[in-house]
């Protein structure tokens, strides 16, 4: 796969609350030079980053708790609205897993609705923290996220485990299954430990095996802070 194709799928990420203006400017300079799909930062950094990004590179913001998701639907909705107000065009929001038999249940449904309503038309990526879930839970929560209008299902934050081949396979299958029954073309964001071109190519191949239509930045993203440097080397 050509380097430029992978770059076009990249959500270039800097999630460091202590990042200063120099670091954020450096991030934007890299983005403007190499043209990833989006740049992803904390809400407090969004106004500055948004002012420095060239047109055509989306500003993505994490909201609703990161890396651990908020327990309050009302709090999630407020955080997502604040992210939108900060200039975000895309919102990445953690749906916190529970190690209980009824997961996902009414509590998760309420949170997902809050994310969708709070995002006010922005592209919504729901982070399902696949490393903390078994197969049943991962399939069920992916289906629920898609049913409530998620634009992307994102594998994980990368803070509590990495994106496994099996997680990529399961989520891609569930997205394809959803598209057979419902309108819309939701996407998949591969995140967590995707630090080399080989990682990216392997995971993209797994997704394509499940559904070849999950391709291009409108439906497939890679969240990484390290991948750009490796690709340039």
* Percent of the chain's residues with pLDDT above 90: 94
Tokens 């690709």 identify what position?
Answer: 231
| Domains with residue ranges and CATH for the chain | 3-232 (3.20.20.70)
The residue with tokens 């500003």 is 59
DSSP letters along 160-223, please? S----HHHHHHHHHHHHHHHHHSSS--EEEEESS--SHHHHHHHHHHHHHH-TT--STTTEEEE
**What is the pTM (predicted TM-score) of this model?**
0.96
104 prior amide bond cis, ω within 30 = yes
- Active-site annotation, residues: 92, 154, 189
Looking at residue 233, what is its pLDDT? 76
Percent above pLDDT 70 for the chain: 100
Q: At 159, phi and psi to the nearest 5?
A: -90, -20
Convert the pLDDT of each residue in 35-87 to its tens digit.
999 999 999 999 999 999 999 999 999 999 899 999 999 999 999 999 999 99
Helices 73-85 and 106-118: crossing angle in degrees, nearest 10, is 20
Residue 183 phi/psi, 5-degree rounding, is -70, 160
Residue-wise pLDDT tens digits, 95-147: 999 988 899 999 999 999 999 999 988 999 999 999 999 999 999 999 999 99
Taking all residues of the chain, what is their mean pLDDT, rounded to a whole number? 96
**Average pLDDT in the 174-196 region?**
97
The closest alpha carbon to 154, from 182, 178, 183, 123, belongs to 123
How high is the pLDDT of residue 112? Answer: 98
* pLDDT of the residue at 100: 86
Helix runs in the chain, H state only: 3-7, 21-34, 46-52, 73-85, 106-118, 135-147, 165-181, 197-210, 227-232
């Amino acid at each position: 796969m050509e380097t430029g194709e992978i770059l076009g799928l990249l959500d270039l990420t800097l999630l460091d609350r202590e990042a200063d203006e120099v670091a954020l400017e450096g991030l934007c300079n890299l983005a403007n030079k190499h043209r990833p799909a989006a740049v992803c930062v904390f809400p407090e950094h969004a106004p500055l980053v948004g002012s420095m990004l060239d047109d055509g590179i989306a500003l993505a913001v994490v909201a609703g708790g990161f890396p651990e998701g908020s327990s309050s639907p009302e709090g999630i909705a407020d955080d997502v609205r604040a992210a939108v107000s900060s200039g975000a065009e895309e919102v990445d929001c953690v749906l916190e897993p529970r190690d209980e038999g009824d997961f996902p249940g009414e509590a998760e449904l309420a949170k997902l609705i809050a994310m969708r309503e709070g995002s006010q038309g922005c592209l919504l990526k729901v982070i399902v923290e696949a490393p903390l879930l078994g197969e049943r839970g991962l399939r069920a929560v992916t289906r629920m996220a898609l049913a409530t209008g998620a634009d992307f299902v994102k594998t994980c934050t990368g803070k509590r485990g990495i994106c496994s081949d099996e997680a990529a396979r399961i989520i891609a299958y569930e997205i394809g299954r959803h598209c057979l029954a419902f309108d819309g073309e939701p996407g998949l964001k591969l995140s967590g430990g995707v630090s080399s071109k080989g990682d990216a190519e392997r995971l993209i191949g797994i997704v394509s095996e499940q559904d070849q239509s999950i391709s291009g930045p409108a439906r497939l993203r890679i969240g990484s802070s390290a991948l750009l440097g490796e690709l340039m080397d």
